A = this chain, B = another copy of it.
Amino acid sequence: MKKISDSTISRLSTYYRTLSRLIEQNVETVSSDEIAEINNITSAQVRKDLSFFGSFGKRGLGYNTKDLREEIAKILGLKKQWNVALVGVGNIGRALIDYAEFKKQGFIIKALFDNDPKKVNTEVGGLKIHDIENACNIVKKEKIEIAIIAVPAKHAQAVVDTLVQCGVKAFLNFAPVTIKVPSDVIVKNENMSIELEALSYFLTQNKKGD
């Protein structure tokens, strides 16, 4: 299959949420122009993104919100439940355990890991914290497919290496470092410092421009 760009995939995610909201509001049809307007992009972009996967609209009318949402769910693989492990039960980790948005989209946190002996064997949010040493047993038992890395930067690579050994192929990394993985494994980064620094750059530029 043709390689689809990361930006197309992340826009599909936003269309998915847009459609969910429209469905909640009992809207039944929507045009590419309306979807575009809501997300500050062009309608051509919306149609192009969708066209990689099929043609889901009706000329002269637009898209049926429920149908299109369903199609995007299929494309993104959201029709199944994903079993997720969370590594690092610190501030960020704890917040993510309770983050309702995840569960809503079918990402279920099934296992917690940490390396702090004080935390291991305690419970958070009804889940026992396991020693990262025993990762492979738990990964196998809970059929973990995705791991969220919320450990300090200096431990992130080691943690990922361990889990790659256990067969985990997808990572959401909150640690502010670049992680190296084999080519059949994917890492997506969530790095708040980068975005804040982009704001800092923007504000600095604008000040200069005055």
Contacts and interface: CB of A to CB of B under 8 A. Distances in A.
Interface stretch (A42-50, A110-118, A159-167, A173-181): A173-181
A27 interface: no
A98 B91 CA distance: 7
What DSSP secondary structure best describes chain A's contact surface? Answer: helix
Given A170-B202, A172-B199, A176-B17, A10 B194 contact: yes
Contact of A146 (B101, B193, B203): B203
A26 interface: no
Interface in A184-210: 184, 186, 188-206, 208-209
A158 interface: no
Q: How many monomers of this protein are in the complex?
A: 2
Contacts of A6: 198
Contacts of A170: 199, 202-203
B172 A204 contact: no
Interface string A85-104: 00000011011101101100
Contact of A193 (B75, B105, B176, B200): B105
Contact of A195 (B39, B75, B190, B208): B190
Contact of A169 (B99, B102, B191, B206): B206
B176 A76 contact: no
A95 B90 CA distance: 9
A13 B199 contact: no
Given A1-B209, A188-B199, 18 more contacts: A6-B198, A9-B198, A12-B197, A14-B178, A17-B176, A77-B201, A77-B204, A91-B98, A91-B99, A99-B192, A101-B192, A102-B192, A146-B196, A146-B199, A169-B203, A171-B199, A172-B195, A186-B203
23 contacts: A9-B197, A10-B198, A12-B197, A12-B201, A13-B191, A13-B193, A14-B178, A40-B180, A75-B201, A76-B200, A77-B200, A77-B203, A92-B95, A95-B95, A99-B192, A101-B176, A102-B192, A105-B196, A107-B200, A170-B199, A172-B192, A172-B199, A188-B196
